[in-house]
Amino acid sequence: MKYNIENLVQLIAQLRNPTGGCPWDLEQTYQSMIPCLLEESYEVVEAIEQQNTANLREELGDLLLQVVFFSQLAKEDHLFTFDDVVNEIAEKIVRRHPHVFGEEKAHNEQEALSHWNKIKAQENKNKAYQSILDNIPHAFPALMRAEKLQKRCAKVGFDWDNVQPVIAKVQEELQEVQAELARPQQDQTKIEEEIGDLLFAVANLSRHLHCSPEETLRKANQKFERRFRQLENLAQQQGKSLQHSTLEELDLLWDKVKSEEQQ
């Protein structure tokens, strides 16, 4: 038997059936499923970055399961159904692509994006938001949310028009961190605040240089992990223990890894 989306919806409904359903699934709530939703989303990203198409297919299925599961919870609460979810996103796709499904024209990516943003702005206006920042989710990863906040403010002109003052702001925030560290009695709350300001400024610099702060840091994490694993292998080849090596010895191994990678 080859299952389709209707079968999947029915399977999830059966898992949630008080008569004969799964005890674990029956205990789940919107809140308890949030970690599963996030985990599956990140695993999809991982499969894409690894260019693992077989794994991508599996992870997309796991992510789809989350959508169906949340829809089933909503159906049980008499809020909406999976069909309502499908219908709403289909309507949005049609509405925001008048250059495909209507009479508008878009000859390039910029014109298509312009249509999308114009329609989205009108939709937000109709929702009567009190602030231009109202619909930026607080649940976003912090760097991603910083970028979204900055982009939204830039749309109304609250932004520098070149990168030099942005760099100056990063330097200013770094100096404020250093000043806080130089105090005889350090205030950890104040240090955290200054570090936050520094991170926000760096995120802004990244945005001005057309780099996604979230993606840029993820790539930096991946590079660090790759190099450190190579350092571990190199130390093992030389019969060295990381725990019993000095920082100077580890720095030499690190420099060797970087040198070999850059050749």
Categorize the per-residue pLDDT at 192 as very low, low, confident or very high, splitting at 50, 70 and 90.
very high
Percentage of the chain lying above the pLDDT 70 cut: 100
Q: How many CB atoms lie within 10 A of CB 170?
A: 19
Superfamily of 5-95 according to CATH: MazG-like (1.10.287.1080)
For residue 118, pLDDT over 80 is answered with yes
For residue 125, pLDDT over 80 is answered with no
Pull the structure tokens for residue 38. Answer: 């996030």
pLDDT at 163: 95
pTM of the model: 0.72
pLDDT at 164: 97
- Taking Cα atoms as reference points, which of 204, 180, 205 lies closest to residue 190? 180
Query: Which residue reads 């190579």 in tokens?
Result: 230
- Average of pLDDT values for 137-149? 92
Tell me the pLDDT of the chain averaged across its residues.
93
For residue 126, pLDDT over 80 is answered with no
- Average of pLDDT values for 15-21? 96
Sign of CA dihedral 243, 247, 251, 253: negative
pLDDT at 202: 97
Categorize the per-residue pLDDT at 122 as very low, low, confident or very high, splitting at 50, 70 and 90.
confident
Residues 6+ apart with CB under 8 A from 122: none
For the purposes of burial, counting CB atoms within 10 Å of the CB of 125, is it exposed (0-12), middle (13-18) or buried (19 or more)?
exposed
Instruction: Tell me phi and psi for residue 134, to 5 degrees.
Output: -60, -35
The listed range with the strongest mean pLDDT (59-68, 101-110, 114-123, 250-259) is: 59-68
pLDDT at 79: 97
Categorize the per-residue pLDDT at 113 as very low, low, confident or very high, splitting at 50, 70 and 90.
confident
Categorize the per-residue pLDDT at 129 as very low, low, confident or very high, splitting at 50, 70 and 90.
confident
CATH number of 129-211: 1.10.287.1080
pLDDT at 159: 95
CA distances from 79 to 9, 11, 24, 76 (A): 16, 20, 22, 8
Residues 6+ apart with CB under 8 A from 207: 147, 150, 151, 213
pLDDT at 132: 83
